[in-house]
């Protein structure tokens, strides 16, 4: 049986390539992430097909950010697709609007803290307030959860700090930036192994290139799941 703690990111150009990859992986994976990069390549159609015809769980990673009314309207529209997870920026007004839009559905709203591809130098360039990244991530996570988020997105390096928050009781922690031992980091800067991320409190880990770039994606996925045991 597939372990839905592993979410495989379908970071491929279009829905056709996504279906081909999912077919190669087969029953080894039950949960897929579809991101913004595939939105114009049939991402929503792929989400619908994988969910309705193949019984997969779907994480739509859109990282929505806008005024409250727009976020609420967008989320209400996306909720029609019977998705499992949807990301929005972790700003409290965005989270509250997203929860309003998702009302009546089972879709979980996850607040993004700080992207796992960013380090302190990047935050300085963006004029983000001074402070250590773990402290900033933890604060943003607490505020998103207080605003009603069902969980948060954070690097595995901050998972334990977030799990220790009173606000995180019963909430989801989903960690991208996960790399099996020996895998290339790519554009990720704050990483950990799958087993360390789960040990530190992550409910789900997101892995992309180490699976879909493998010669045998199904074998690569099974190896990650085995490491979680």
What is each CA distance from 5 to 37, 190, 229, in whole angstroms? 23, 20, 11
Contact 99, 76 (CB under 8 A): no
* CA 210 to chain CA centroid, nearest Å: 16
In the beta sheet, which residues pair with residue 61? 35
Active-site residue identified among 63, 96, 99, 229: 63
Reduce the DSSP state of residue 198 to 3 states and report it: helix
Q: What's the CA gap between 19 and 94, in Å, rounded?
A: 32
96: left (phi over 0), alpha (psi -120 to 50) or beta: alpha
Give CA angle at 84 (214, 20), nearest 5°. Answer: 30
- The C-alpha atoms of residue 169 and residue 183 are separated, in whole angstroms, by 32
Helices and strands in the chain: count of H runs, count of E runs = 10, 8
Is 199 designated active site? no
What SS3 state is found at 99? helix
Catalytic residues: 63
């Amino acid at each position: 049986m597939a372990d839905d703690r592993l979410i495989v990111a379908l970071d491929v150009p279009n829905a056709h390539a996504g279906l081909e990859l999912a077919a190669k992986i087969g029953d080894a994976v039950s949960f897929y992430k579809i991101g913004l990069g595939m939105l114009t390549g049939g991402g929503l159609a792929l989400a619908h097909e994988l969910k309705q015809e193949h019984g997969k769980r779907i994480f739509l990673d859109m990282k929505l950010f806008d005024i409250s009314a727009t976020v609420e309207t967008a989320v209400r529209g996306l909720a029609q697709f019977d998705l499992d997870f949807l990301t929005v920026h972790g700003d409290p007004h965005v989270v509250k609007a997203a929860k309003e839009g998702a009302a009546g559905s089972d879709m979980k709203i996850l607040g993004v803290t700080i992207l796992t591809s960013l380090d302190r130098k990047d935050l300085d360039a963006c004029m983000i307030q001074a402070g250590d990244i773990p402290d900033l991530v933890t604060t943003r996570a607490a505020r998103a959860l207080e605003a009603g988020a069902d969980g948060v997105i954070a690097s595995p390096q901050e998972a334990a700090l977030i799990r220790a928050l009173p606000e995180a009781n019963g909430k989801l922690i989903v960690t991208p930036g996960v790399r099996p031992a020996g895998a290339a980091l790519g554009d990720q800067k704050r990483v950990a192994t799958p087993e360390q991320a789960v040990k530190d409190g992550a409910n789900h880990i997101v892995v992309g290139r180490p699976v879909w770039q493998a010669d045998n994606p199904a074998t690569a996925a099974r190896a990650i799941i085995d490491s979680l045991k």
